[in-house]
Structure 1
Amino acid sequence: MKKLMKNCGSELARNSLRKAAKQVCLSTWFCLFVSPLTVAANYSVSNAEGLKQQLLMVKAGDTVVLKAGEYSGHFEIHQPIMLMGEKGAIIDAQGSGSAISVFVSDVTISNLQVQNWGADLYELDSGILVQDNADRVRIESSHLKGDGFGIYSENSKHITVVNNVITGNPALYKLDRGDGVYLKGVDAPVVHDNKISHVRDGVYLETSTNSLVFDNRFHSAQYGIHYMYTKHDEGYGNEVDNVDGGYAIMSSEFVNLHQNQASNTLDFGVLLNISNHCIVSHNRLSLGHNPQGTAELGNEGKGIFIYGARDNEVSHNLFSTSDIGIYMAMGGEKNKVYGNQFVNNKTQVKYVGDSLLEWSHQGRGNYWSGYMGWDANHDGIADKPYRPNDSLDKLFWLYPEARFLMNSPVVALLRWVQGQFEVGAATGIVDSFPLISAGSTGSTGSVYRAQY
């Protein structure tokens, strides 16, 4: 009996092992013949016709490699694949349309030179055109040069643009060029470590959300980064040079712009236009100058221009060597401004409103070059409040034709009287806790990322 039970037990064990082995075999067979990952193939092409044919035949997960050479025409991707080039692989759209159009999600385009696409912005001519609902498209390590949009994506998610060089056509009027990267209705795009020049806007975001744009270099454009109707965005580590404006935040909310640089700007380093709940901090904004700028037109170069924006925080920035450090107008009063450095601007602050605004926070104000204040207790804060402009400044801004009187004895007497007695309701800017030294502002702090 014991022997029979032992044999039965052994037979049951063997049956169990056979059953398990059969399941493993079936599972392996399924993975080998059904899983797209295991059937993915690598293809190599050497001419335009071969590339078009291969793009029609590929399956999900395949890789198509372009050998060195020129591939003329327009190419479409309808499968989630990787398209990459060997050194010297060039896609040339021959002056019309889009060079590459992506119609499906999970596509990677890498190491290509894309050039000579069309200039029709209404037809969305692009170096790489990502069609609606094509998510998780990654474009990396490529060179794109053409008239229209460099990379265009609309109504998609998780677009990644990294380590590319995108160049527009400097012969075109600036507003006739396409943007380097145009993202409309895109959720959670990531754009970093790109070099973008001679375009309209370096990165343009419209009705997008949760974007992350960092460590890019922008040169010779209208704006470096342009936010329009966006929410919950972050931009840091970017550098902008020789543009009309550095960073334009327009009709947007919860944009965190920090640790960026802008120099040689014609109009502004940062624009806050009808935008709320934004943070502009630890940025270096310098050399904002418009050679044709006049007080009458209000188009002088500005470190930051706040227009109709409220409930924002502007802190720990450097505003230096510009026509105007901060220009505030049309309902921009309800913002926090503190911990900034205003250094060697021709006009430190221009505000033409009718309120008296306090620019300090929790007992700390801003640093103002040229302010000769006293600090008797050596706490780094001046003993008396500072008024960077007064009612007479406002008078000259409103009536520029009277500027020839600025240095007259009569105006000097009026300024003395104003300093002794408050004539009328006080308006303008007051910093009740001006900082004695630039080092006490904390404007060179380390990079941080705010979460909303």
Structure 2
Amino acid sequence: MAMTVLSTIVVVAALVSVAATGAASAARIDVVPSSDLQAVLNGASDGDTVTLAPGDYRGPIRIERKLALIGQPGAAVLGHGQGSVITVVAPDVTVRGLAVRGSGRDPQSMDSGIFLTQTAERALIEGNRLEDNLFGVNVHGARGSRVAHNTIEGLRGIRLNDAGNGVRVWNAQDVVVDGNTIRYGRDGIFSVTSTKDRFINNRFEKVRFAVHYMYTNDSEISGNVSVGNHGGYAIMYSNRLTILGNVSERDRDFGLLLNYANFSRIERNRVVGGPLSGISADFEGVDADKGMMPVERGAAAAEFGPTKCVFIYNANKNRFRDNWFESCDIGVHFTAGSEGNEIVGNAFIGNRNQVKYVGTRDLDWSKDGRGNYWSDNPAFDLNNDGIADAAYRPNDLVDRVLWTAPAAKVLINSPAVQVLRWAQSQFPALYPGGVVDTHPLIAPPALPMPGVGP
């Protein structure tokens, strides 16, 4: 009780000082763990800085002033398992340097570590550690907010569909999510019905999708790293995006997925498969959401990932340039009437099937005399111009048979199959419609290969 009275005196003294001088200068309010933190926040003024000494503070709390809430190392705000731990209502609020734990588990109310309401515009959530919350940071319509350099770890040991997202962005324009490390939970960042947002330089581990876009337009995903998740970057019903310089390593099902995504620029991304041992076990028994999109699995999907480097499903007029797709079951799965996509300058390296194209039309994956690099293309370049002297066709009749009847793989080395492939090479009219690269590259493009660690 004495410490609560002392904190109240500090607040009153600061207010009296400002009134006496007639100046609008901000006050610093130092708070100790035994204080009533909500009472301190209620008594603060716009522009004040509330600084928490190391220790635990009882939540939930609600911030209704334009102030900064700063935690010294070791300061933590603890919820009691109901609702959100910190709810921000006022605009221009900063929350920095806190541990935030113990939200409720109700997905309908979207219980969160930090919940930014629609009026909490231009909030800065920086350098916090959020653990044991259903959602980490929920940007619920708070335009212009920034979520930067936080560590967010969601709930473990529950069904994936019962978990929340690390960062959720809903109906919020000009939001930046930068430099966060996000582990566990459903999706690392989930964006829905938003526009002009930037998700940059984040790292994702042990989640369903690293980044999940739904109805989000004119936005950017750049410089992010996804390691060992169910999927990397799932882009759905979204247009005019920039997807630049991201990494997907050993994600189980796909690196990039575009579903009804159009008019986007996908450049200098790296998707690399590898052994999933030591990764899948970390999901602690959760199951993938099987109701979202059918995902086919290759025979080795339980051991290596991803199944698909890129899955393009009814996505139109996108530009794929200078990407690196390596060691997947399928380099690109291209289906459902996707039209007008430019796929040039990419490297397809060591994929079991470079391309799976479900369609009958001929598609030329080259432009202005430049195509892609294919590691299994035994090409010559007699004029030394960097372009192979003959076109490359990744699939033939045999591939189409194997897609529809996988059991036929037992005949892959039979004389009949070899004769069929030789006949197609001599009589190109026998080829089915599909992808052809008329100007394949002799060497892969020089792309930066960032390391992502173990």
Deviation sequence 1:363-408 (CA, Å, 0-9, x none): 1111111211111100011100000111221122022232222221
CA drift at 1:219: 0.6
State the partner residue of 2:298. Answer: 294
Report deviation, 1:55: 1.2
- Given candidates 366, 371, 383, the residue that maps to 2:389 is 383
Partner of 1:355: 361
User: Which residue identity is paired with 1:407?
Assistant: N
Q: Report what 1:272 is aligned to.
A: 258
Q: Is the alpha carbon distance of 1:369 and 1:290 closer, same or farther for their aligned partners in structure 2, counting shifts above 3 Å?
A: same
Match of 1:227 among 213, 219, 243: 213
2:52 alignment partner in structure 1: 66
In structure 2, relative to structure 1, the CA distance for the partners of 1:254 and 1:445 (3 Å cut) is farther
| 1:400 aligned onto 2:406 | yes
**Aligned-partner residue type, residue 362 of structure 2:** L
Q: What do residues 146-176 of structure 1 show as CA deviations (whole Å, max 9, x unaligned)?
A: 2310000222210101111001122222232
Length, aligned pairs only: 412
- 1:197 paired residue among 153, 171, 183: 183
- Match of 2:233, as an amino acid? Y
Q: Which residue of 2 aligns with 1:12?
A: none
Give 1:118's aligned residue: 104
Asked if the contact 2:118/2:143 (under 8 Å) is kept, the reply is no
Q: Which residue of 1 aligns with 2:10?
A: none
Distance 1:251 1:290, change over 3 A: farther
What residue in structure 1 maps to residue 199 of structure 2? 213
Distance 2:20 2:126 in 1: 30
Matched-pair contact (CA < 8 Å) for 1:288–1:301: no
Q: Is residue 2:309 matched to residue 1:303?
A: yes
Quote the residue 1:15 is aligned against: none
- The one-character-per-residue Cα deviations of 1:39-89 (angstroms, maximum 9, x if unpaired) are 421111113652111111111111111111111221000111101111111
TM-score of the superposed pair, with normalisation by structure 2: 0.86
| Mapped partners of 1:334, 1:48: distance in 2 | 63
Question: CA offset at residue 288 of structure 1?
Answer: 6.5
Gaps of at least 5 residues in structure 2 are 1-17, 278-295
With over 3 angstroms needed to count, the CA separation of the structure-2 counterparts of 1:157 and 1:70, relative to structure 1, is same
Q: What secondary structure sits across from 1:230 in the alignment? A: strand
Q: Give the structure-1-normalised TM-score.
A: 0.87
* Alpha-carbon separation, structure 1, partners of 2:188 and 2:39: 34
Which residue, out of 344, 350, 354, partners 1:338? 344
1:200–1:222 Cα contact (<8 Å) kept: yes
Q: List aligned pairs for 1:125-144, cutoff 5 A.
A: 125-144=111-130
Computed over aligned residues only, the root mean square deviation of the Cα atoms, in angstroms, reads: 2.3
| CA distance 1:357–1:35, shift in 2 (3 Å) | farther
AA matched with 1:98 = S
**Residues 417-428 of structure 1 correspond to what in structure 2 (within 5 A)?**
417-423=423-429, 426-428=432-434
SS at match of 1:253: coil
Measured in 2, the distance between the counterparts of 1:425 and 1:324 equals 20
Contact in 2 for aligned 1:118/1:146 (Cα 8 Å): no
Q: Say whether 1:155 aligns with 2:141.
A: yes
> AA paired with 1:216?
N
Sort the Cα spacing of 1:36 and 1:59 in 2 relative to 1 into closer, same or farther, 3 A: farther
Distance 2:20 2:171 in 1: 35
User: Which has more radius of gyration?
Assistant: 1
Cα distance, 1:38 vs. partner?
2.2
Unaligned runs of 5+ in 1: 1-31, 447-452
- In the alignment, the residues of structure 1 paired with residue 342 and residue 403 of structure 2 have an alpha-carbon distance, to the nearest angstrom, of 24
Q: How does 1:433-452 map to 2 (within 5 A)?
A: 433-438=439-444, 441-444=445-448
